Amino acid sequence: MTTPTLPTESAATTATTPTDAGPDGWRGIVTDWSADREAFKVPWGKAMMWIFLLSDTFIFSSFLIGYMTVRMSTTVPWPDTSKVFGLTVGGVDVPLLLIAIMTFTLITSSGTMAMAVNFGYRRNAKRAAVLLLATALLGATFVSMQAFEWTKLIVHEGIRPWGNPVGAAQFGACFFMITGFHGFHVSCGVIYLLLIARKILQPGFTEHGNFQIVEIAGLYWHFVDLVWVFIFALFYLW
């Protein structure tokens, strides 16, 4: 009687190992980066926006760290921000009134932007475009109030980037640099949102277009709003 032979370990391993296994290691990294539509399973548009926002984070962090260093090292008294940025309403001085309204406006725009992204996921171009336009309008309102704030400080308070009659000279340089750079981002964001709204309203976009561009625009806008929270806390409340 003949005893049946069992397959050897190497033969069994060969039989169970898939021959079409995907690339791994360095080959997999090269494959991911060389793709023309996505990298590491993330669309290129979103990946590039994240890289841009990361670089912007370093810039804003440098500005705010520099401001805090100047603020703590100066021997001249720093201006009282509650008075410098206050408004007189009905003969009563209200501290930080304009800044509070600006902050509320920008935070509200985050809500409209989030709803625009939600309707983009649903491929509802009209509602997404309306919410993008509402977000852009709130952003333009924010920049307009910032222009009013600058005018008040320059014309009425006499504050300049190179001088400050109400306290430390570095106050003007820090204020105009930080808020100006952020205001520039908001202005660019308003134009960006208007272009995206125009694009998704084009005929045929609902059927064949990629609504991911709304989400990418939302990443930028939420970043701008988040930066303002840090500016508001460190510059206006400190």
Please give the tally of structural domains in the chain. Answer: 1
β-strands 42-43, 87-89: how paired? unpaired
**12-34: per-residue pLDDT in tens?**
444 444 444 445 677 766 666 55
**In sequence order, what are the residues at sequence separation of 6 or more whose Cβ sits closer than 8 angstroms to the Cβ of residue 85?**
95, 96, 98, 99, 149, 236
| 191 domain residue, yes or no | yes
Structure-token pair, residue 181: 């750079």
Coil/strand/helix, residue 37: coil
| 86 domain residue, yes or no | yes
CATH number of 138's domain: 1.20.120.80
Provide the pLDDT confidence category of residue 60 given band limits of 50, 70 and 90: very high
Task: Report d(CA 7, CA 124) in Å as an integer.
Answer: 60
User: What's the mean per-residue pLDDT of the chain?
Assistant: 87
Residue 7's pLDDT is 46
Structure-token pair, residue 161: 């980037």
User: Which amino acid, 139?
Assistant: G
Q: Which domain holds residue 57?
A: 40-236
| 28 domain residue, yes or no | no
| 26 domain residue, yes or no | no
Residue 118 has pLDDT above 80, yes or no: yes
**128-143: per-residue pLDDT in tens?**
999 999 999 999 999 9
Residue 197 has pLDDT above 60, yes or no: yes
What's the half-sphere exposure (Cβ side, CA atoms, 13 Å) at 146? 23
| 178 domain residue, yes or no | yes
Helix residue spans in the chain (DSSP H): 9-16, 25-34, 44-73, 81-84, 97-121, 125-151, 170-200, 205-208, 212-231
Residue 10 has pLDDT above 60, yes or no: no
| 185 domain residue, yes or no | yes
Instruction: Report the range of poorest mean pLDDT among 12-21, 48-57, 159-168, 175-184.
Output: 12-21
| 13 domain residue, yes or no | no
Higher pLDDT, 41 or 76: 76
Residue 3 has pLDDT above 90, yes or no: no
| 3 domain residue, yes or no | no
